[in-house]
Amino acid sequence: MKPFAYHQPDQIPDAAKLLTSIEDSKLVAGGMTLIPTLKQRLASPSALVDLSKLGNLKGITDDGATITIGAMTPHAVVAASKLVQTKIPGLAALASMIGDPAVRSRGTIGGSVANNDPAADYPAGVLGLGATVITSKREIAADEFFLGLFETALDPSEIVTAIRFPVPVKAGYAKFKAPASRYALVGVFVAKFADGVRVAVTGAGPGVFRVPPMEAALSGNFDPSAIAAIKIDTDGLTSDIHAEADYRAHLVTVMAKRAVEAALS
Amino acid sequence: MQISFTLNGRPTSVDVEPATLVAELLREQLHLTGTHIGCDTSQCGACVVHLNGLPVKSCTLLAPALDGATLLTIEGLTGDPGSNQMHPMQEAFRQHHGLQCGFCTPGMLMTAVALATEKPDLTEADVRHGLEGNICRCTGYQNIVISVMAGAAAMHAAKGE
């Protein structure tokens, strides 16, 4: 790692100001992606702005038809939350499958969403549930937030403060994980609402995406059999040392069926 | 920068560069070499320590995160204070041969103690899922899983649960 200055502001406006006033500065939440990136010298920021001392960014609140999770809430807290387990069990299950216990102690929902790793789990949950990303400046719908490989709608001085999830009728997540990293080779989040079904896929391509044919089929019949014959086009899917695009395409259907099964169980 | 934290029960204050990993701080500056660095890419778990009671990988933690916190390393894992006994989890690893070369063992123990603390009635599936972030290249995990189950039972028996 190259040396950097370290700032621990206690107010969001101060954090935003540091981020814009110091050239090449970066935010750090749990650091589960940033620290490995710094160690490999894929990034060498001049300063880190640590979000851990900001008030009110941790915790989960019940708003009735929605639940709101503070950006600095670690995965382990979401996974163990009775509120999330009761209202959106599929989301608690997703959080329990991220990385390993040590990663879940530190990694945060805000960090995961802002980083938008193409194989991260949370983007599938956020897009699948049609959640809203709340930032220091505005609210952004999930459908407008994820723009592709590590790209989001966030502007350079914008800080994610919370994610607001609508409570679905049913929801489930299933992933086939890369055994060493435990990132999703393919992960599928399925959510059934009164007005339709949303299906979001992570790991398969350069960014999280929805599958309209599966959404239409599941809206008619929320059962794994409804999507068993739906194949995903391999165009634009990722091929790497872990899996070829055609295998990932196959896994999307398999994981989508398992996600529906999980939602129904 | 100056950081102050509680290390294995003792107040500690050190001057560190912000770009210092906790694993480096422990091993090189504080000479606590029980915490091992295996992969250095947050996958193997040999470097697991407890930060405020939760298991974390010290190779993927910056030293400034320690300020004001409580840190427990393998050196702080002991039996009853003053008894010169091993921690029940360490004793279980010894009894059930839960190690061969021993390199991964400090991290296995720290993860195992955190697991057993979080959930008193661990099943074998819980243990295998909970050890996902700890890699052992010798044992095939069988005896590690047996050790963790026994160690967890001994920890809760010692507490009278």
Domain of B72, CATH number, reads 3.10.20.30
Interchain CB distance below 8 Å, B132 and A50:
no
Last residue of a domain, one of B49, B76, B103: B76
Q: What is the pLDDT of residues B3-54, one digit of tens each?
A: 999 999 999 999 999 999 999 999 999 999 999 999 999 999 999 999 999 9
Q: What is the pLDDT of residues A117-160, one digit of tens each?
A: 999 999 999 999 999 999 999 999 999 999 999 999 999 889 99
Does residue B99 lie in a domain region?
yes
Q: Is B143 a residue whose pLDDT tops 70?
A: yes
Q: Are residues B93 and B154 in the same domain?
A: yes
Q: Is B160 a residue whose pLDDT tops 90?
A: no
Q: Are residues B69 and B93 in the same domain?
A: no
Domain that includes residue B113, residue range = 88-158
Longest Cα separation, chain A: 56
Does residue B107 lie in a domain region?
yes
CATH number at residue B131: 1.10.150.120
Confidence of residue A182 (pLDDT cuts 50, 70, 90): confident
Residue B19 near chain A (CB below 8 Å): yes
Does residue B83 lie in a domain region?
no
Residue B70 near chain A (CB below 8 Å): no
Which ipTM was obtained for this model?
0.93
Domains in chain B: how many in total? 2
Q: Are residues B70 and B100 in the same domain?
A: no
Compare all CA atoms of chain B with the CA of A39 and give the residue at the minimum distance.
B41
Q: Are residues B26 and B69 in the same domain?
A: yes
Last residue of a domain, one of B20, B43, B76: B76
Q: Is B161 a residue whose pLDDT tops 60?
A: no
Interchain CB distance below 8 Å, A100 and B114:
no
Q: Work out the percent of chain B whose per-residue pLDDT is above 90.
A: 91
Question: Model-level pTM greater than 0.90?
Answer: yes
Q: Name chain A contacts of B18, Cβ cutoff 8 Å.
A: 3-6, 48
Q: Are residues B93 and B152 in the same domain?
A: yes
Distance CA B73, CA B59 (A): 13
Compare all CA atoms of chain A with the CA of B53 and give the residue at the minimum distance.
A105
Confidence of residue B144 (pLDDT cuts 50, 70, 90): very high
Q: Are residues B20 and B67 in the same domain?
A: yes
Q: Are residues B68 and B104 in the same domain?
A: no
Last residue of a domain, one of B76, B96, B111: B76
Q: Give residue A61's pLDDT.
A: 97
Does residue B57 lie in a domain region?
yes
Residue-range domains of chain A with CATH: 5-50 (3.30.43.10), 60-264 (3.30.465.10)
Interchain CB distance below 8 Å, A180 and B40:
no
Q: In whole numbers, what is the pLDDT of chain B averaged over residues? A: 95
